[in-house]
Amino acid sequence: MHDPPRALPVASERRASSPGSRGSAFPPHTVRRVPPFVRACVIGVLFIPAGALGARGELIPTPKFSDHAIPTSTVPDVGSEVPMVLDVAILLGALGLASYFTLVIRSRKHLLALTVASLVWFGFYREGCVCPIGATQNVALGIFDSTYVVPIATIAFFLPPLVFTLFFGRTFCAAVCPLGAVQELVAIRTATVPRWLDHSLGLIAYVYLGASVIFAATGTAFVICRFDPFIAFFRRAGNTNMLIYSASVLLIAFVIGRPYCRYLCPYGAILRVLSTFSRWRLSIPPGACVNCRLCENVCPYGAIHPPTVTPSAQSRARGRQQLAVSVVAAPLVIVGFTWMATVLAAPLSQWHPEVRLAEQVRIEESGLAEKSTDASDAFRNSGRSKEDLYASGIAWREKYRTLGGWLGAWTGFVIAVKLVHLSIRRKRDDYQAERSGCVSCGRCYWYCPVEKVRLGLIQDVSEAIDGAKPGASSAVARAPEDAAV
């Protein structure tokens, strides 16, 4: 007999919930191999009590010792945490400072310092939790699930950036959000994303917002947290997939400014809308614009747009036609997407563990699966009927047919609004930061020659333009015509 005694694996494949099998846990050949002393113990401890257990599944009694009290394990208290009040106070302070630096002293240097500070505190020290981005999900779950309690800290993180954005623009994105801060610091050599691509990719964030709210509200998953691209850096730990994903986003952030903020961040999507209505916001230049285009060139996020030219009558007519078409098309787009998205019921519902389990059990029952999973084994031992599981799985899938429809409607709505928005022309006299796209990083302050004159750093605009970019003076003359695009 060269095989090792395979006694307990046989038993371990059975469950504690089948007490009748206990007596056969050690097949005879195993017992033959062990010394008589041990055999006595096996019989004593295992067999006799197991026999006494009978079919009722009672436990082996805990012995009474002559001079040894049976101890009790203790469990530790909740570890000391940074007080919630301190965290919220720091958030509010940082928001206030970011808004002050952006709007009052207009200083890129101060904003940069605050960005680093936020990255250190909210990112590396607090390890990216709580963050307002993820708090969106807690709020969604809190609204739809009355048994879930949203922590006060989470509410206090979710709301203030929204209110600040309504008044001061996206100053939260500028220097408070740790995810923004990471990308801000690596946005060194950024390429310009073509306008059409920028607009299209920007829609992903809204769809992501819709999907994450649906997943959170149904208690299915917190996808924003699961796919947080920088949490692995903040924790300096993570599994391989997370690290590859994080590294990819970070590498992309070197060549495309803030890819997560612009194309994925669901909270950023909310802030973009709110920022459109902000009372004050970053503005450039502080005086008469010299059309040097430095701000447009330096903005890594493509958020500074050139002045508009007066459109010709023909182009006006085309614009009106475009607007009419997009307004008429809007309901069709919404209905179309709603209809299309109901087919997403199956893939969307698979995010729900109940549906995954039901599908796995179904596959195993039909003999298509090579082996069972931990989950399906556990299900079979739970005593719950397959029919019950299937019914629950089907119910969830039907629920996701409706939810998929809602997600489709939301996607259609977002696309329709985008189309209408793109068809409306707005008059811009100067180079101006776009209301929604500008994250108030303040890079343009650093470069704007008019700003430099205001600060008294230079006497005249021409000094800065010649100094910063040889030949830029020709751009001054060229700019308004080019801007017609």
Site for another protein in 7-46 (CB under 8 A): 7-9, 11-12, 14-16, 22, 25, 34, 38, 40-42, 44-46
Which CB, 41 or 394, lies closer to another protein? 41
- To another protein, the closest distance from the beta carbon of 469 in angstroms equals 26
Q: Out of 225, 255, 417, 458, name the contact with another protein by CB under 8 A.
A: 225
CB 293: neighbour CB atoms within 10 A?
Answer: 22
Chain centroid offset of residue 114 CA: 23
- Which of 351, 408, 346, 394 has the alpha carbon at shortest distance from 217? 351
The nearest distance, CB 378 to another protein, in angstroms, is 4
391 CB-near residues (< 8 Å, 6+ apart): none
DSSP category for residue 428? -
Task: Considering only residues 203 through 222, tell me which ones interact with another protein, judged by CB under 8 A.
Answer: 221-222
Q: Which of residues 130-149 bind another protein (CB under 8 A)?
A: 130, 134, 137-139, 142-143, 148-149
Between 374 and 481, whose beta carbon lies closer to another protein? 374
Residue 6 CB, shortest distance to another protein, in Å, is 7
Site for another protein in 291-350 (CB under 8 A): none
Residues 397 to 416 in contact with another protein, rule: CB under 8 A:
none
Contact present, 471 and 294 (Cβ < 8 Å):
no
DSSP 185-227: HH-SSPPPPPHHHHHHHHHHHHHHHHHHHHHHHTTS--HHHHT
In angstroms, give the least distance from the CB of 339 to another protein: 31
Q: Which amino acid is at 103?
A: L
Is the distance from CB of 118 to CB of 187 less than 8 angstroms?
A: no
- As a whole number of angstroms, the distance between CA 452 and CA 172 comes to 25
> How many residues of this chain bind another protein (CB under 8 A)?
84
Rounded to a whole number of angstroms, the minimum distance from the CB of residue 408 to another protein is 25
DSSP structure class, residue 46: I
Neighbours of 167 (CB within 10 A): 15
Beta bridge partners of 293: none
Task: Give the footprint of another protein on residues 166-185 (CB under 8 A).
Answer: 166-167
Q: Which is nearer to another protein, 429 or 481 (CB)?
A: 429
Among 88, 113, 150, 203, binds another protein (CB under 8 A): 150
Q: Which of 195, 226, 384, 421 binds another protein (CB under 8 A)?
A: 226
Q: Which of 65, 196 has the CB closer to another protein? A: 65
User: Closest separation between CB of residue 290 and another protein, Å?
Assistant: 17
Work out how close the CB of 466 gets to another protein at its nearest, in angstroms, rounded to a whole number.
29
Residue nearer to another protein on the CB measure, 92 or 225? 225
- Rounded Cα–Cα distance for residues 221 and 226 (Å): 8
Sign of CA dihedral 478, 479, 482, 484: negative
59 belongs to the binding site for another protein (CB under 8 A):
yes
Min separation Cβ 284 and another protein, Å: 11
Three-class SS string for 292-343? CCHHHHHCCCCCEECCCCCCCHHHHHHHHHHHHHHHHHHHHHHHHHHHHHHH
Q: How many helices (H) and strands (E) does the chain have?
A: 26, 2
- Of 195 and 316, nearer to another protein (C-beta) is 316
Residues 63-102 that bind another protein (CB under 8 A): 63, 65-66, 68-79
The residue within the footprint of another protein, chosen from 52, 185, 237, 394 (CB under 8 A), is 237
The encoded tokens of residue 147 equal: 């048994």
Site for another protein in 246-285 (CB under 8 A): 274, 277-279, 283
Return d(Cα 208, Cα 210) in angstroms, integer: 5
Q: Are 396 and 355 in contact (CB under 8 A)?
A: yes
Mapped onto helix, strand or coil, the DSSP state of residue 372 is: coil
Cβ nearer to another protein, comparing 155 with 252: 155
Q: Which is nearer to another protein, 78 or 368 (CB)?
A: 78
What token pair was written down for 89? 């106070």
Footprint of another protein on residues 347-386 (CB under 8 A)? 353, 373-375, 377-378, 381-382
The answer to whether 480 touches 291, Cβ cutoff 8 Å, is: yes
Return the beta strands (E) in 255-323 as ranges.
304-305
Closest approach, Cβ 129 to another protein, in A, equals: 6
Q: Least CB distance from residue 141 to another protein, whole Å?
A: 10
Which of the residues 102 through 121 are near another protein (CB under 8 A)? Answer: none
18 versus 402: smaller Cβ distance to another protein: 18
Q: Tell me whether residue 25 or residue 117 sits nearer to another protein (CB atom).
A: 25
- Residue closer to another protein by CB (options 191, 237) is 237
Which residue stretches of 367-448 are H helix?
A: 374-382, 386-423, 443-447
